Chain A
């Protein structure tokens, strides 16, 4: 069975603090993709990053960075120097290459950044 767990339901930080959102996944597939999406109050899911299971290099994009560790089945997301505009719900998702391409989402983590 495939599953994504985001244990943190809500996180509240003060602006400029660093914050890490945790994601743990389960899959028996050897080839798969992992994603992070942001869902602002407007409701639209915004794609942030995709990683495939063969690429364990960490990635940095501006204030965002991602740490993929296959050994612990984790794909954590860190926001450095958080800003109020980062307030949103963040979803981690898994897609196997053996299925039809559907995304399996975690429950989401609500991040509130206070000024």
Chain B
């Protein structure tokens, strides 16, 4: 079974530029998560989708970050414009269901963003 796919793996941009990350979850997984992991810290949830609807985006900096999951499968996370403090690894995860025993989250390899 294929895992969670993410691209690109690495991205270097200058501050104030825009960037987009792509995630393809495990087939059949209804729930998709985007986490931000700053160096030396644990991942922090940015946004969570259930199919194509947003469940939790309370920690998403909405003035510069946006995300969508239009067809309930792939997802894109965008930053516009980027700031130095956005340098981090962006992890995508998916799970079969929203809650309960089948909520185990499977993580992709992440996209490492460096903002200069």
Contact = CB atoms under 8 A, between A and B. Distances in A.
The dominant DSSP class at the A interface is loop
A38 B99 CA distance: 22
Interface residues of B, number: 27
A102 B48 contact: yes
A50 interface: yes
Interface string A83-113: 0000000010101010111110111100000
Contacts of A43: 89, 109-110, 112
B65 to A, nearest CB: 16
B64 interface: no
The residue in B93, B103, B106 that gathers the most chain A C-beta atoms within 10 A of its C-beta is B103
Contact of A101 (B41, B89, B98, B109): B98
Interface residues of A, number: 23
Given A43-B112, A45-B107, A100 B55 contact: yes
Interface of B: 31, 33, 40-45, 48, 55-56, 89, 91, 93, 95, 98-100, 103-110, 112
